[in-house]
Amino acid sequence: MRGRTRLTDVAEQAGVSTATVSRVLNGRPSVAGETRRAVLAALDLLGYERPDKVRARSAGLVGLIVPELSNPVFPAFAQAIESMLATVGITPLLCTQAPGGTTEDEYVEMLIEHEVDGIIFVSGLHADSSADPTRYQRLRERGVPFVLVNGTNPDVVAPSFSTDDRMSMDLAVRHLASQGHRDIGLAIGPDRFVPARLKREGFREAMSAYLAVADPQVVTTLYTVEGGAGAGSALIEAGCTAVICGSDLMALGVVRAARSRGMSVPDDLSVIGYDDSVLIPFTDPPLTTLRQPVPAMCQAAVATLVAEIGGAAAPHTDLLFVPELIVRSSTGAVADGARPALVGAASNGARRG
């Protein structure tokens, strides 16, 4: 869009007054960080170039290391963290990984060469129990502040922010059990990954507590559609009427496996995903899933890192965030109508979405 900036258009897009837009465009300091961010976002969305006065100099650099971006939850984490860093004037340097590409350790060295003020690790090697945790101790000894998102590791002295994976499985199993399901399977990633191990443990505990099933069906696979399809086929052959998955992509694979056999979801098979990725409400059927509180986790991680960069001590805190079961159309009553009695009686904590 060319020509003069229409204050009314920007104000309407940002949800603020034209006077506020004017203060931002003129570089006035009397504007809250979040409000300024909203106005700048409106400028970008409407196609206006930012005036030189609002091109603020970065207050610092922070490295953001995330896994591959094919799983929608990782771009969600990256975007939330970038937005929250921007409100305090910090510029993120995004580092994404892929098989055969740059490793986490190599990225760390590059970031240190760029003199970053801190690093945020999302689902990094700290979440892999087979990886050597001393790399983080060496990083701490070099004086680089950092925080961990997803995957608490007791051997790493650093602030950690994760979803309560055990609780998520409790919510999922109880929901399915209340619909009459007893033969419930779990499609999950390798046990060496901390979130996968915790989900597996939570699943077994919930199956024992609510359905008195001591050895439920669990299939280890990849966090992909193809991995979910393979796991779904195996669990369907094992007689499962419902499947809980470690990611939304895996859940879509399970739905594909069911349909390839002429089965209907949820009439013949109920499926639950994990993450509540941005497009999941629009799948066919809309997917019941466990929502990670991404904004809250990112806000806590960024606030902690910024405080540490400012000189505050970094406590070895492991903060767990409560997941939310979002009930949509991929789960329903078991086909044969049998409803086993629940052993537990806690609230299932679900809501419709």
- Residue 226 domain flag: yes
What confidence score (pLDDT) does residue 337 get? 47
Taking the C-alpha atoms of residue 271 and residue 172, their distance in angstroms, rounded to an integer, is 10
Indicate whether 21 and 169 sit together in one domain. Answer: no
Taking the C-alpha atoms of residue 257 and residue 229, their distance in angstroms, rounded to an integer, is 5
pLDDT along the chain (353 residues), means of 10: 66 88 78 78 80 64 92 94 90 89 95 96 95 94 95 89 97 98 97 96 98 97 96 98 97 98 97 94 96 96 94 85 98 70 47 57
DSSP, collapsed to helix, strand or coil, labels residue 57 as coil
Indicate whether 68 and 96 sit together in one domain. Answer: yes
What confidence score (pLDDT) does residue 258 get? 98
Indicate whether 249 and 331 sit together in one domain. Answer: yes
Token pair for residue 34? Answer: 């979040």
Count structural domains, the chain.
3
Indicate whether 206 and 223 sit together in one domain. Answer: yes
Cα 192 to Cα 122, 128, 129, 130, 211, distances in angstroms: 16, 6, 5, 6, 27
Point out the domain boundary residue: 54, 77, 92: 54
What confidence score (pLDDT) does residue 56 get? 55
What confidence score (pLDDT) does residue 350 get? 55
- CATH number of the structural domain spanning residue 33: 1.10.260.40
Cβ 33 vs Cβ 51: under 8 Å: no
Q: 304: which residues sit within 8 A by CB, 6+ positions away?
A: 147, 159, 161, 314, 317
Taking the C-alpha atoms of residue 217 and residue 277, their distance in angstroms, rounded to an integer, is 26
Indicate whether 125 and 235 sit together in one domain. Answer: no
Enter the DSSP assignment of 325.
E
Indicate whether 213 and 243 sit together in one domain. Answer: yes
Domain residues for 67? Answer: 60-163+294-321
Point out the domain boundary residue: 37, 54, 71: 54
Indicate whether 175 and 145 sit together in one domain. Answer: no
Indicate whether 298 and 285 sit together in one domain. Answer: no
Indicate whether 16 and 117 sit together in one domain. Answer: no
- Residue 2 domain flag: no
- CATH number of the structural domain spanning residue 179: 3.40.50.2300
What confidence score (pLDDT) does residue 7 get? 84
Cβ 150 vs Cβ 310: under 8 Å: no
DSSP letter for each residue of 230-246: HHHHHHHHTT-SEEEES
Residue type, 208: S
Is beta strand 350-352 parallel, antiparallel or unpaired with respect to 324-327? Answer: parallel
What confidence score (pLDDT) does residue 352 get? 55
- Residue 222 domain flag: yes
Tell the residue number behind the tokens 């990954």, with chain if given.
193
Indicate whether 159 and 169 sit together in one domain. Answer: no
Cβ 190 vs Cβ 216: under 8 Å: no
Indicate whether 268 and 345 sit together in one domain. Answer: yes
Taking the C-alpha atoms of residue 215 and residue 223, their distance in angstroms, rounded to an integer, is 23
Indicate whether 190 and 215 sit together in one domain. Answer: yes
- Residue 1 domain flag: no
- Residue 187 domain flag: yes
What confidence score (pLDDT) does residue 45 get? 84
